[in-house]
Structure 1
Amino acid sequence: MKGILQKIDLAGRILQWAVELSEFDLKYEARTSIKFKYLADFVAEYSDTPGTPIDWNLYVDGSSNKAGSGAGVILESNQGTQLELSLRLGFFALNNQAEYEALLASLKLAREVGAQKLTIFSDSQVVMSQIEGSYQEKDPTIKKYLDKTKEQLGKFMGYEIRHICREQNV
């Protein structure tokens, strides 16, 4: 009985707000996601100078905690174009998995905008060292992430990996 009364009270409050806001002619529109392709077309149209290769800096940070996993990415060109992307992973991921997810998403974005040369910055020493080959991967899941990352990096003309401290990766 208590649950029913709470639902009726909530419905009453919603109806009261609906009546008060109806004078403003407000409409709710669901937010749609921006597809990488449209973003790539925009960047290609406004930042590409024919004959001049564009170098891109890629800042990647993935994280995981009890509330969930996510990633932040900044992709910036030597011509001043800057793209920011934040991701919420729809599954539980360990920190290194979140770092790889962030890196893979950012490599996809970089390919979409036509990047040929990348400098990748990350505060994950483990992930950066695994890609460079100075650390070995022991976990089979991480091995799959590493293989996929190397495959994606092979699609670029060149790349450089730089480890930065956590304070610089804001």
Structure 2
Amino acid sequence: MWDGQCQAAFDKVKEVLSSPPLFSPPVAGLPLSLYLTVTDTAMGAMLAQTVDKEERVIYYISKKFLDYEVIKGRAVSDFLADNPIEATEVMDTWSFPDENVVHVENDIWDLYFDEASNYMRYGVGILLILPTGEHVPVSIKLDFNVTNNATEYEACLLGLRGALDLGVKKFLVHVDSSLVIN
């Protein structure tokens, strides 16, 4: 039975949805809060910061998982649940051991890569980040049929080849696939 209380709740939902929150730039020196929601089929995350007793949204992202991502995510979470890391010490959340370091010489490049595939085409994305912070993005379309795992391998190999072609001697490889790394 629809009554006044139902109508009031409905009107409140309409009001909230018709005036979405505005993003705010972060304020240096104030802590950030990360809110994360993950279900079997989707995830959402919000980065916020409390300024003058008011919580402000800095960034928000949401994603509905595709079928293969649900399977991949379940495999990763099952692996992590079966292989927990023992905590050796409790970290003081407000202590940053390197907070007084102003500058560090770094000649290590970062290499990120990922694959993309669907029923029509396959491709890889590569991102090299120089020690100076400059970004070198590369995307490559593969002209042959491959599985998702093979596409991950291609992305890794092309990223490594690109880094070596640029004369990179030290780089740190970042990837979300344990299959490729192991």
TM-score (norm 2): 0.40
Structure with the higher helix share, 1 or 2: 1
Structure with the higher strand share, 1 or 2: 2
TM-score (norm 1): 0.43
